[in-house]
């Protein structure tokens, strides 16, 4: 049975990836500092859990002791706004933390490291849909740190022969996404509608995003683990909606009459985003199976249950 280390494995995306790995009979070890991840996300699962921070240089010794066959690196500072406020912290987690994991991957002679990158590496697109060959001009420190790690991975392959898969995620949503702080827009809208509170829309709401359901992401991550090639692909739905359209869909599903409150646009946010997933389909044999309406229904159902527990 192959052993996989998942950094950030107790988080929103990470916990779904862990479940997908278990469905494929991998032995899983989770490394998470639980700053944003939650133990309840992986409670009861047959995994080894280590409370550790990737920014600690000794994380490499931990990974080495686990003798992994591969590593899925999901642990990150994920907020664009936070990266603008505190770029040094963003760099510490996303660049230095990643380097600790990558060095451990080399020392452990793993067969593959899968890295969760982001559509933020592209910045404001010159054309749509955005392909992996599109120029990369990040508009935020967050996007810049993700792109920097991509370059490090390619360099580590040249220097040390470390095989990699880079997956550039579009906007991920689904159950377990935390609506507090810097949660994704779907989880924030769902949470506020579940509690009969008006959501906030930053800007005019006409900005577009490509939303991808979290279990489709998890499927792509496991397929990225299994490919023998070094690849960099987008993991996305291949379509986009405006934030206004997204809100109207969620409001319809929730049977609400609530109106959104509009606020000033946030620095670092891009205007339009639609990612081509053709390369992922071709190179990974993957494609999304959850349409947006179905995914939103499941996400809102999860938020409704959570709101009732809070009450």
What residue spans define the domains of the chain? 3-171+213-235, 175-209+239-275+290-310
pLDDT mean over 87-92:
98
**pLDDT band (50, 70, 90) for residue 268:** confident
- CA gap 184, 297 in Å, rounded: 16
* 15 pLDDT tier (thresholds 50, 70, 90): very high
Whether omega before 129 lies within 30 degrees of 0, making that bond cis, reads: yes
pLDDT above 70 (res 72): yes
Averaged pLDDT of the chain: 95
Q: Which residues have a catalytic role annotated?
A: 142
* CB neighbour list of residue 126: distance below 8 Å, 6 or more residues apart: 134, 135
Q: Quote the percentage of the chain above a pLDDT of 70.
A: 97
59 pLDDT higher than 80? yes
175-209+239-275+290-310: CATH class:
alpha beta
Give the span between the Cα atoms of 90 and 216, in whole angstroms: 27
| pLDDT, mean of residues 155-176 | 97
Question: How far apart are the C-alpha atoms of 143 and 217, rounded to whole Å?
Answer: 19
With a cut of 80, say whether residue 107 has pLDDT above it.
Answer: yes
What is the pLDDT, as a whole number, of residue 308?
60
pLDDT given at position 183: 64
Q: What is the pLDDT of residues 251-266, one digit of tens each?
A: 999 999 999 999 999 8
pLDDT of residue 307: 65
Give per-residue pLDDT as tens, 134-147: 999 999 999 999 99
Give the number of other CB atoms < 10 A from CB of residue 133: 9
Structurally, what CATH architecture does the domain formed by 3-171+213-235 represent? 3-Layer(aba) Sandwich (3.40)
Does residue 182 have a pLDDT over 60?
Answer: no
Taking 70 as the threshold, does the pLDDT of residue 161 lie above it? yes
What pLDDT, on a 0 to 100 scale, did the predictor assign at position 21?
A: 98
Read off the pLDDT band of 1 (50, 70, 90): confident
């Amino acid at each position: 049975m192959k052993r996989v280390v998942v950094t950030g494995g107790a988080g929103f995306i990470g916990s779904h990836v862990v479940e997908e790995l278990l469905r494929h009979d991998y032995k899983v070890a989770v490394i998470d500092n639980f700053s944003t991840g939650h133990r309840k996300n992986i409670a009861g699962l047959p995994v080894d859990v280590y409370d550790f921070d990737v920014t600690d240089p000794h994380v490499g010794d931990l990974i080495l002791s686990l003798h992994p066959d591969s590593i899925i690196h999901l642990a990150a500072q994920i907020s664009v706004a936070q990266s603008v406020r505190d770029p040094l912290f963003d760099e510490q987690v996303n660049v230095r933390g990643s380097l600790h994991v990558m060095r451990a991957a080399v020392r452990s002679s793993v067969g593959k490291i899968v890295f969760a990158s982001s559509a933020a590496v592209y910045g404001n697109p010159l054309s749509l849909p955005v392909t992996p060959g599109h120029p990369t001009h990040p508009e935020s420190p967050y996007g810049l740190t993700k792109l920097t790690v991509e370059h490090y991975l390619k360099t580590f392959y040249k220097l040390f022969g470390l095989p990699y898969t880079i997956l550039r995620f579009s906007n991920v949503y689904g159950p377990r996404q935390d609506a507090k702080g810097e949660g994704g827009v779907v989880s924030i809208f769902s949470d506020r509608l579940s509690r009969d509170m008006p959501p906030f829309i930053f800007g005019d709401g006409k900005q577009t995003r490509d939303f991808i359901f979290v279990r489709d992401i998890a499927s792509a991550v496991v397929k990225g683990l299994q490919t023998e090639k070094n690849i960099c692909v987008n993991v996305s739905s291949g379509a986009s909606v405006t934030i206004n359209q997204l809100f109207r869909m969620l409001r319809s599903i929730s049977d609400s009459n609530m109106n959104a409150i509009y606020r000033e646009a946030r620095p670092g946010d891009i205007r339009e985003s639609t990612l081509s997933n053709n390369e992922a389909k071709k190179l990974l044999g993957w494609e999304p199976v959850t349409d947006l309406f179905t995914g939103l229904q499941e996400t809102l159902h999860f938020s409704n249950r959570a709101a009732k527990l809070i009450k």
